[in-house]
Structure 1
């Protein structure tokens, strides 16, 4: 087993992309992030590494602070012994992680070993499922229409983004930071709305893309407007729109929210992997 850390992001991308593309939909988070490395220079504190065994990739590691470490696992190669050795190497190298996210089985092993080796507490922050969609099912749409968000919606969508981040156990975000990010999203034409009586009632975002797919994220409906089918209509129409340019869509769900999981399956999304987000304290 060998832990190889990369400061040259170009070399890292060349090394890991062929491996990650073998399970493109499941690895959409890592692939989407390294895709940005081709377009922009990543921050100096971004962490990129691989674990190799017998000249094969056993695991990729990527962290963009302050976010969690992301693991992508080669289940044919990874072993508990190898995971223990990996964690011990990371500890020796002085690494610190706020948490970890990835395929459930091996991410839980990593977290358990990390807690043992660092005397930190590991706690599940969110149990997730990754879904894939290749064709949108026919569903009963709620009243209203689908549209691209514009800057006139910016103040409201900034508030929605803050609420979304708090609801989904993401790192807290200030109203100023949310405002800046939302303005950029709107300029990129990546945020879409469901409108009822010309009022925004739900949003969803075109997020990171991979070679053949694209992720749907930031799905949000205010509490007082939930249960009316607005999110279903918004996600269905956004997915249909994205499938004009991509072979498939992916999204993550919180397993603690059975309503959203049911909604996505009715639209046509199928589960492909259990994922877990674990925090260290």
Structure 2
């Protein structure tokens, strides 16, 4: 049996030329690599920070079997792998001297890679988050509908969006958020943030949506300030963001939830989202240098 060979590049166009058909073959499960590579392709290699992204492609018999990508300092993101493939990838990355802060993948792949990374590097592996990927079925407006209306965020909302972005990143315990200003500018330019505002015009919630790639778009982030929660604002904003994605041509509208939050999982199911697959994020807090 020949060992798996991973082809590595830091050029998004080269990665997509080789792996694009594979990613398009399962757009829902590949939503993260599809949307991240689209941002890198359209906004440049530093869309997610000053360090260059890294991509890997596993080929077997001339066909792409799996991929990975990383936009440092964020986690390694994997498409589904077998335990043997996870072990081979961990050995490959350790040999290259990579120091990984975390891994994100479907539940089985994330667990098998975390175990393999421990074996090859001695790094501790802690389950950070269990996630569920949902797909929109029949969109259903929340009842009762909160007073107010939706609108697309514009330049006048920039400072508000930056504050909410930074608050959202802090609330989920992530130290890997994009620069708030760059994040807001890109989404304002693309018309990709839906605000819900009260009758007096005060914004109270936001729901973003990714560009449509391979027929799919992903709703993210959804954020309501803590003192305004429980009033239906997030559900209303999410419904309108989903409508905007469909209007933009999305055949599939997706979103991720934290399974530790029953409120958001219940909300998304009530407005028409149905489970697709479970994912997980494992942290490597000690991150020693690979031996």
**TM surpasses 0.5:** yes
Q: Is contact 1:28-1:209 (8 Å) kept?
A: no
In structure 2, the partner of 1:250 is 254
Are residues 1:129 and 2:136 paired? no
In structure 1, the partner of 2:79 is 72
In structure 1, the partner of 2:280 is 276
Alignment of 1:95-174 (within 5 A): 95-140=98-143, 141-171=145-175
Question: What is the SS of the residue equivalent to 1:52?
Answer: strand
Are residues 1:200 and 2:203 paired? yes
Q: Is contact 1:33-1:208 (8 Å) kept?
A: no
Decide whether aligned partners of structure 1 residues 269 and 3 sit closer, same or farther in structure 2, where only a CA change above 3 A counts.
same
Q: Is contact 2:212-2:245 (8 Å) kept?
A: no
Give structure 1 regions of 4+ aligned residues with deviation exceeding 3 angstroms.
53-56
Q: Distance in 2 between matches of 1:172 and 1:2?
A: 29
| CA deviation after TM superposition for structure 1 residue 13, in Å | 0.5
Summarize deviations over 1:143-197 as a string: whole Å, max 9, x none: 11011112332222222111100112322559xx323432342233221111113
Q: Distance in 1 between matches of 2:84 and 2:94?
A: 16
Question: What is the SS of the residue equivalent to 2:175?
Answer: coil
Partner residue of 1:239 out of 216, 239, 242: 242
Q: Distance in 2 between matches of 1:41 and 1:164?
A: 24
Question: What is the SS of the residue equivalent to 1:26?
Answer: coil
Question: What is the SS of the residue equivalent to 2:163?
Answer: helix
Q: Give the gaps of 5 or more residues in structure 1.
A: none
| CA deviation after TM superposition for structure 1 residue 37, in Å | 4.0
Q: Distance in 2 between matches of 1:22 and 1:15?
A: 13
Decide whether aligned partners of structure 1 residues 31 and 173 sit closer, same or farther in structure 2, where only a CA change above 3 A counts.
closer
In structure 2, the partner of 1:23 is 26
Are residues 1:53 and 2:56 paired? no
Deviates more, 1:45-54 or 1:98-107: 45-54
Q: Distance in 2 between matches of 1:183 and 1:9?
A: 22
| CA deviation after TM superposition for structure 1 residue 40, in Å | 4.1
Decide whether aligned partners of structure 1 residues 196 and 211 sit closer, same or farther in structure 2, where only a CA change above 3 A counts.
same
| CA deviation after TM superposition for structure 1 residue 134, in Å | 4.2
Q: Is contact 2:217-2:253 (8 Å) kept?
A: yes
The alignment's C-alpha RMSD in Å is: 1.9
Q: Give the gaps of 5 or more residues in structure 2.
A: 286-291
| CA deviation after TM superposition for structure 1 residue 35, in Å | 2.0
In structure 2, the partner of 1:264 is 268
Q: Is contact 2:246-2:253 (8 Å) kept?
A: yes
Decide whether aligned partners of structure 1 residues 22 and 172 sit closer, same or farther in structure 2, where only a CA change above 3 A counts.
closer
Question: What is the SS of the residue equivalent to 2:210?
Answer: strand
Deviates more, 1:48-57 or 1:96-105: 48-57
TM-score by length of 2: 0.88
Decide whether aligned partners of structure 1 residues 172 and 92 sit closer, same or farther in structure 2, where only a CA change above 3 A counts.
closer
Q: Distance in 1 between matches of 2:277 and 2:229?
A: 27
Q: Distance in 2 between matches of 1:280 and 1:255?
A: 20
Query: Across the two proteins, how many residue pairs are aligned to each other?
Result: 275
| CA deviation after TM superposition for structure 1 residue 279, in Å | 1.3
| CA deviation after TM superposition for structure 1 residue 81, in Å | 2.5
